[in-house]
A and B are shown apart, each in its own frame.
Chain A
Amino acid sequence: MDRIPILRMGNYLLVTIQVDLYDRLAQNLETDLVQMVSKTGARGVLIDISALSIVDSFMGRIIGNIGSVSKIMDAETVVVGMQPAVAITLIELGLELKGVYTALNVERGMQLLKEKILIDEDETEED
């Protein structure tokens, strides 16, 4: 396997990371997601990392990159399902997941994306 499937659901792209990623796989995911956002005009990206047993600075940087590039292309990114031990470790490591939102699970993540995108649309209407 050298690609992680990306599902499209309306305005959203959904990715479930099933295994601890090899670097190449993580880098492919970054490029694939960014291309998909640009191709589909998706407004939200949801990444489920509940199967990841560790997030080191490499993986953290990939997630951050996805968030910031998506943002430039007008899409919000939410990361869901981070294991508590991973969250505790990330804080001690000193890694901030800049440019991405986080939520407890897929349901709340979708809710968050919907709210963010709605707020966005409201703001543009007011201009």
Chain B
Amino acid sequence: MYIVLNKDRMVIEKEQDVVPYRNRVKEFAVKIGMSLVNQTKLITAASELVRNMLKYANGGVTTIEVISKGRENGIRLVFADKGPGIADLNLAMKDGFSTGKSLGLGLPGAKRLSSEFDIQSTVGKGTTVTIIKWKNG
């Protein structure tokens, strides 16, 4: 249902990978002419999700894609890790829930900032989060 127009892949394994990764996402978003507000929302969501990968799963792999559905273009980001997984996804998606003594805003915030949000997780296997931000969505 989506056509992938362009694709890139980045391995995230240390804190210093976060800023270059965000810059790469920005390049993709600029290329499809995404508005500044939507770019900022997308990059902020992406930043939260790579941070989670680093903090809870010691890193992982991300893909950045330009996708198209009908007339709408967008950016799809996938964050896949082989970390411990999340036992209770409903709980993890709640504002303020954190096992890392943090604010617990990353997952629910990233969902609010995205046009589409999907999370799959298996305890002991890992977690994959996929988000889409449509150019005008």
Residues on A facing B (Cβ under 8 Å): 20, 22-24, 53-58, 60-61, 83-86, 88-89, 92-95
Interface contact B43-A54, CB-CB below 8 Å: yes
Interface secondary structure of A, over-half rule:
helix
Interface contact B102-A92, CB-CB below 8 Å: no
Interface secondary structure of B, over-half rule:
helix
Task: Decide: A56 near B47, CB < 8 A? Known: A92-B109, A92-B113.
Answer: yes
Chain B neighbourhood of A92, CB < 8 A = 41, 109, 112-113
Task: Decide: A95 near B105, CB < 8 A? Known: A23-B18, A24-B15, A54-B43.
Answer: yes
Chain A neighbourhood of B48, CB < 8 A = 56-57, 93
Interface contact B36-A95, CB-CB below 8 Å: no
Task: Decide: A93 near B105, CB < 8 A? Known: A56-B44, A88-B37.
Answer: yes
Chain B neighbourhood of A23, CB < 8 A = 15, 18
